Every structure is written in C-alpha cells, then in structure tokens.
Structure 1
C-alpha cells in the first residue's frame, strides 16, 4: 500500500490518510505546488487536510486534471476535478498569461520550470555581471543558496525556484564594517543601471529584466567570520573553516562557469541540512532562534515588520484598492488650496493617492512596502495621473534625508498626509518622520495625521501592525519638536484596514484622532 491513500481534493484543499510524505500537485500536467502531507496539514477526522495556499485559492474556479505524485514518483491521485462554477480550464497564470507556481515561501510566482529555453539568458548574464561588479569592488562573491544548490547538484537552476542568489564572505570582522561595505557595493551596482532595494544592513536585491519583460530579483547576501563561525545573511550561523570558502573554486550553472566556495558541500549542508542532495520542492527553512536574534541585532534594525507588511498586501497586490478615499484625505482636500501638492507618507496601496490625483492634486506616495503599490503604480502610468509612487524606509536615515532634500526643492505649496503612520512605525521611525516633514514643509504648511486610540481586536487572531497612541503625550512631543497643533478631532466609528490586502474592518469601527499640525 502507498504511504498515503484515500486522497481527494475539494474547495478546502487536499485530504489524505497516511504518513508524512512529500507530495507534488499538478494541474493539467504542470506542477503547481508541493507540500508535506502532515507537516503542512491539520488533523481532520480520520484524515489530514492540507489547505490550499491563499494565493492559489484565488485561481480555483474551473476544471482541471489534478495529479498528486509522491517524492518517490508514485501517483496517488489522477482525477478530473471541478472548482467553483466555471466550465473553463483552471489557469494559474498572471495577467499576461505567464504560468505561475507556489515557491518555497508560499508565494505565487513564475518559477524556472515554466521558462522556455533561452529565457534564462538575461538572468545568467546579470548573475555574471553582478559577480564581476562585486569582484571589482574587492569581494570574492559566488552563487549562493538555491542557485548554488542547483549548480552543484544538477548544473542547472532548480525548477521550483524563482530567483538567483549571490553571497560573499567579507574580510571584515565587525558588523558595522560589513554594513558599510554592503552599502558601498549597492551603490556600485546602481551606477551600472540596475535598480536595487535593501533587505537589511548586509543584504540587498537587484532587479533584473527578464526576457518576457518582467523583473526577477537577484539577492546579494553578505557574510563574515565571527571566530570559528560563519555568519551569512539568509541565514547561516554554523561552525566553519575558512578554507571551505577560500580560495574560491568554480561550478557550472546552465553551461556557464561561475565562482564557487572551495568546498561547497559544507556550505550547502549548513543551508539545507544533511539531506541537501535530495530534491525537496516543499523545503522549509528551520531557523535557529538564537541565530535569528543575532542577525536581527546586527543587521535588521531597519526592517521592523517589513515581511508582515509585504504579506499583508501580497494577496491583493494585483487588484484595485477600495474606491472611496479615507475621510482624512477628503478633509485634507477641503482644507488645502487647490494648487497644493501632497506627500502621502505611508500611502499603503495608494487608495488616497489615486483619489487626490484624480481630483487634480499632484501626489507623491511613499511607503515601506513596494508590494502594496503595485496596482496603482501600473494604473497611474496607464492613465497619466499626476502620481509618483516610491518606496521609502523611515527607519533608514539616509533614505529619509535623500527624499527630504528632493521634495524640499520642488516648487509650489505642499502638505503631508500621514494616516496611521506614526502609530505603525517605531520610535525611530517617528523621529525620522518629523525630520522629513521639517525638511519638506515651509512655515505655515501643514501635516494631516490620523492615529488609532484604542487597541484593534482581530477575530482571526492576526497580530495588528497598528497600535493605539496616547494622543496627549503624542501632542506634547509634537509641540516639543517645535510644531504648532492647529486642529484635533476625536472620532468614533472609523474603519481600520487591518487585514490582508487592505481588507476593511467590516462592521468593526474604532476610535481614532485626526490631527492638524503646522510648521513654524
């Protein structure tokens, strides 16, 4: 008997009876998702239920041939299944029709196994370019994580992976020097014309154009030796010999030769465990909590809640935000002169940015999460709205100062919108927000804020990313910073977008305070 049996699928997910085994699920012959039957499931009577990933569930409307194959190659289900009401074939594709699959992290992305011959050439070119750039900056870099694993194990990209990774081991021994080095290298990459974004103090992403016009991310992870341990972002913290990295050797990936650690096997074991030679499309990183705390303290002070914000907006990033503006945006529009342009700091999905722009106000939207702004950024480009949407991290002073200088030099009267910003960031973020506002606004110009004044309770138990504020203490701090409070309105019954994808709070409404603060 197979290690699992009585396998069936329905609107909730996959139900089966048996052991914990690797399962690969395909629709009409194409692998879509892989999972472990018990690790990823929950008991459901006599069987186990593995629920559909949220992002995949959005595509389950139609008919498809569902095949489930175990890691051993044994087929345990092969049935024609209908989901929802549509009679069309289920299509797990993006808006351009490109096939998608679930990756390691539960994201619905274009995986390498969906690419045709030749379509990975731009990524290979960029990988070689980036390795060359890093070498020119004095770093001995090499393909890392899934890219290194695929090269060493198969000489090819891993089919269920979706991006390329680069690592390097710095010769510095202090985290601060590693951070400075990483920023220096990032600037060098930007000078070559590649857009970048920062993951942490020692890791950043390079956006690489793909053959189909989309963008793939190439991650650059910094590392260094701490005594007899290797610390590599991503994250590796393990006893390690320097001779296992240096001097670099070579490996072959998709027919091309790239640098590699002198002995890649110990590094792959540190990354994936002793079973790294056996393919596992459902692999899950099991991070050491003490190692994670160490990396957080060294490198991630500027990344507080970033994954949570990206996850919150990820489900709906390709869908339009709700149409009506928030009341604070309407209040701003009534209060400010018609020729006043707006900076929406913490703009989220751009709901108010869109409304203000459509009412004739040029608006700059800045947010921590690039994922949040995807739909409105594309729509604004198509419609020609007077909108500029960019990422800005309030926790990184260099970004705050750069944006402050850029915005300060723009002509015309301006105002700042900050809805549920100061109640969603850290004390450092609050300090940096007021520094930004002080650079951008001229005497007499205003900041329009709204803050939560009672704790959010989520029926589904999801931790809120917005916390209540003691308004009196907050205003005392604002005055101490040299601002003038010109308006305060305590509100009852304001909806809060606290769920996933700007999900409204349905019938739940909370206490908030609307504030107007003027620059001296």
Structure 2
C-alpha cells in the first residue's frame, strides 16, 4: 500500500515472504514508467509476514503531468492501493508546462530522477559533472593531505557506485569522501573537522559545516560539491560514523587494512582495501540491490552521535566562510543610526566585528576602535585591510571568543588605557557572529 502520496514524495510498504524481498516498486504516468525503487527498508507493521518500506521522491515529475493523466504505483505491472485514493491519483489543478512525450524522450536519452526527485542526466553519463567533481575531489584531497595528513577516500554513495557498478550511481547528487581521524573520541574528531573546514576556506573553497560532514563547493561552480565526512576508531577500537550506517557488522582497528587506488570515470581515487566489506558495513547485507530514495532515517542502525559537530562550530565556519567570500565597503545601517548621536564616547570596542565593516566606519569618523571576533578569517582580513588603508593608528583587532573572560578583560583594559579611563562605547551590531 501507498500510505503517503504527496507532491514531494510517495511512501508505502510491501508485505511478503522473506524470500521475495527486495520487491521492485515502480511509478507510472499512464503507460510510461518514470521511476522505480526497491521495498527493502525496515518497517514496523503488525503482520505474520515480513513488511518492508519504500519511498520515491517526485518533485520534477509534476511538470510533465496533465490533469487527465493517471499516476499509479505498481508491483510486477499491477497497481497497488493508494490510501484514500484507490489505485491511481490524478495530478493537481492545471498541469505542467512540459509534455509526457518530452519526458519519455529525456528518459530514453539517459535522464533519471535523482534520489531527491529532480530530473537530471544520469551521473553515469554526465561527463562534464564527472570531470568537475573529480577535479574538486583531487584539489581538496591534496590540501587535506598536506595540511592535516589525511587521505580522503570515497565513501557512502560514491563508494557504493564504484564497487557495485564500477562508476557513479545514476541518480546520485554529489560526491562522498571521508578520512579516518587519528582521534579516538567524537568531540576531538568533530573539532578537527571544524579545523579542516577553516583550512579549506583559507584555500579558497566555499564550505558549509553540517552536523556530520563538510559540504565543500567549487568556488567557480556552486552546483559541484563533495561531502567530506570524518570517521574514527572509538575507545573500543570500532570504526565509528557520525552520519551513521545501515549495516550490522563491526570493523575494528586491527581489521582496517588501509587504502588503495581505483579508477573512477577515468580518474584515480582512493578506496579502502576491503571496499566491498565497507560497503556492506555501511549499507547492510542488501547493498548490491540499487534502492533509489532509500530513507536513511529508517534504514540507519546506528550512528556515533558523540562525533556530531556542535552548532557553535557550524556558526564559526559559516562566518569564516562569509568573511572570506564577502567584503562590504560601507558601514551598516545600524552604524549609521548609532554614529549619528553627538554624545558617543570616542573609544569603541566593536564586539563581533567580523571583517571590520563597522570598525573601519568608526575609524574613518575619527573614533579609536578595538575590534574583537572569534573568526580568524574575519580578523585576518580586517588586519590586512587596516595595513593598506592608513588607519592602523586608529584600529586594533583581536581574535578571541567573548566567553574567554581573561582575553576579553585584556581587551577592555587596553581600551581603558586608550581612553585615559574615560567612557567606552561597547558596540554590538545586530547579527554579529559572536556566539
């Protein structure tokens, strides 16, 4: 049965004997099969037989549907029930701007619906994307190896495609890489992932820090990205994945045999020596069966939550990335509001100054300013700009976290000396990234 049939996705389940799984489930518009997956996800339903779930993302499908079309979900060619609908569903009001014949032509030409339901040229055929993402992987790998001593290797969907199909998975959307941290506890590994993010930002990459991975974008093409995961051997010597796994096996430090090279779409990549074993460890015993739209929230058997990056780390990386990629030459509207007063102290502590946008604006108006921020990128850029602007006598910058009472006390003492123990203006602009 299909339990949910929403514009975003369909979700359902199949009841059968163990030997019949995985069961192929397909989505049809009239007589055209447009997408398929396999029912093989753990599913909680009361039954004397085995029940497995499935999910298919839709999104772009609706632009090819008219109000008169019939959308069905089928097993072995036969429609299955859709809750509260019967055996078919019609699209919503109106219709898409494209035709079903156009979709048929695109599918025959190698397009597929991605794991998120977006229509794309199969990653197996998209040579331009392959060249770009493999180039990005190589650049990132060289920097991580040089600065941190780690060799990123393919993991998750990229590893699965390589060992199962010898190439990329057609419906995949990105490139997955990982490194094995030298740390043995989650918090230390997470802090190291943040530091690697800073290294990549300093090297010119566009980086986001998520809870379990870095999203590293090509600065010239934001649509090309690799996800860099950290994994580590915990205190029990077991390989741990903050993002999680869907398997039930254990890989110990003594069993880890390191890395080797493999060919992926004409380029050399690093892979674990026991690549198939790692694929089974991550995806479970049915890893050889392609399952588009697999639901990790259902399939995941465990994850090393202690290795998740705190939200504070994500904020630090966000601001470092922002300051590295943006430069604002004028003061903020809040600065204009505050600086227009005629009763302001002439010595300012700019808390959360970032790259010094308002700090410089104060200095240009004759104030003596101390800027503090925890972003090393923002402070570095502010310092470089101060040296070239001729305002060094009016500006001082310090990298610090305001939670560091000792460092903050030193900055305040410095400001008091500058002000000859006169009044100080503590300035904190709305949106300042001080944590």
What range describes the TM-score normalised by the shorter chain of this pair? 0.5 to 0.7
1:259 paired residue number? 270
Q: Is the 8 A contact 1:35 1:282 kept in 2?
A: no
The structure 2 residue matched to 1:166, chosen from 157, 160, 177, is 177
Matched, 1:414 2:333: yes
Pairs within 5 Å for 1:45-124: 55-56=59-60, 59=63, 61-62=65-66, 70=75, 74-76=76-78, 83=91, 84-86=93-95, 89-90=99-100, 101-103=113-115, 106=116, 108=118, 110=120, 112-113=122-123, 115-124=125-134
The alignment status of 1:199 with 2:216, answered yes or no, reads: no
Q: Name the SS for the 1:217 alignment partner.
A: strand
The answer to whether the 8 Å contact 2:243/2:304 transfers is no
For residues 255 and 282 of structure 2, the distance between their equivalents in structure 1, rounded to whole angstroms, comes to 14
CA shift for structure 1 position 278:
1.8
Taking the TM superposition and a 5 Å limit, the aligned residue runs for 1:365-444 are 395-396=315-316, 399-400=318-319, 410-412=329-331, 414-415=333-334, 435=352
Aligned mates of 2:229, 2:190 — CA distance in 1: 11
Q: Which residue of 2 is the match for residue 128 of structure 1?
A: 138
Cα deviations across residues 421-458 of structure 1 (Å, max 9, x unaligned)? xxxxxxxxxxxx97469x76689xxxxxxxxxxxxxxx
Q: Distance in 2 between matches of 1:133 and 1:153?
A: 29
Q: What is the CA–CA distance in structure 1 between the aligned matches of 2:325 and 2:159, rounded to whole Å?
A: 40
CA distance in 1, matches of 2:157, 2:41: 24
The CA RMSD measured in Å over matched residues stands at 5.3
Matches within 5 A, 1:198-277: 198-200=209-211, 203-208=213-218, 215-226=223-234, 227-236=236-245, 239-277=250-288
Do the aligned residues in 1 keep the contact of 2:249 with 2:281 (CA within 8 Å)? yes
Contact 1:66 1:81 in 2 (8 A): yes
Contact 1:41–1:51 under 8 Å retained in 2: no
The structure whose RCO (Cα within 8 Å, separation 6+) is larger is 2
CA contact (8 A) 1:140 1:168 kept: yes
Contact in 2 for aligned 1:229/1:238 (Cα 8 Å): no
Q: 1:169 Cα shift?
A: 0.4
| Equivalent residue, structure 1, for 2:159 | 148
Q: CA deviation at 1:291?
A: 3.5
| Unpaired segments ≥5 residues, structure 2 | 17-22, 47-52, 80-86, 105-109, 336-349, 363-424, 431-435
Contact 2:24 2:39 in 1 (8 A): yes
Aligned residues: 320
SS of residue paired to 2:258: coil
Per-residue CA distance 1:204-236 (angstroms, 9 max, x = gap): 1111489xx671321001111113211233224
**1:29 Cα shift?**
5.2
TM-score when normalising by structure 2: 0.55
Distance 1:22 1:411, change over 3 A: same
Kept in 1, the 8 Å contact 2:206–2:321? The answer is no
Once the two structures are superposed, residues 22-60 of structure 1 have per-residue CA deviations (whole angstroms, 9 ceiling, x without a partner) of 3132558574464649989999xxxxx999857357636
More helix, by proportion = 2
Closer, same or farther: CA 186–408 of 1 in aligned 2, 3 Å: closer
Alpha carbons of 1:302 and 1:34: their partners in 2 closer, same or farther (altered >3 Å)? farther
Q: Distance in 2 between matches of 1:175 and 1:123?
A: 29
SS in structure 2 of the partner of residue 239 of structure 1? coil
Q: Whole-Å Cα distance in 2 between the matches of residues 12 and 107 of structure 1?
A: 8
CA distance in 2, matches of 1:179, 1:80: 47
- Does the 8 Å contact 1:19/1:37 carry over to 2? no
Q: Given the superposition, is the C-alpha separation of residues 129 and 11 from structure 1 closer, same or farther in structure 2, using an over 3 Å criterion?
A: closer
Q: How far 1:157 moved relative to its partner?
A: 0.7
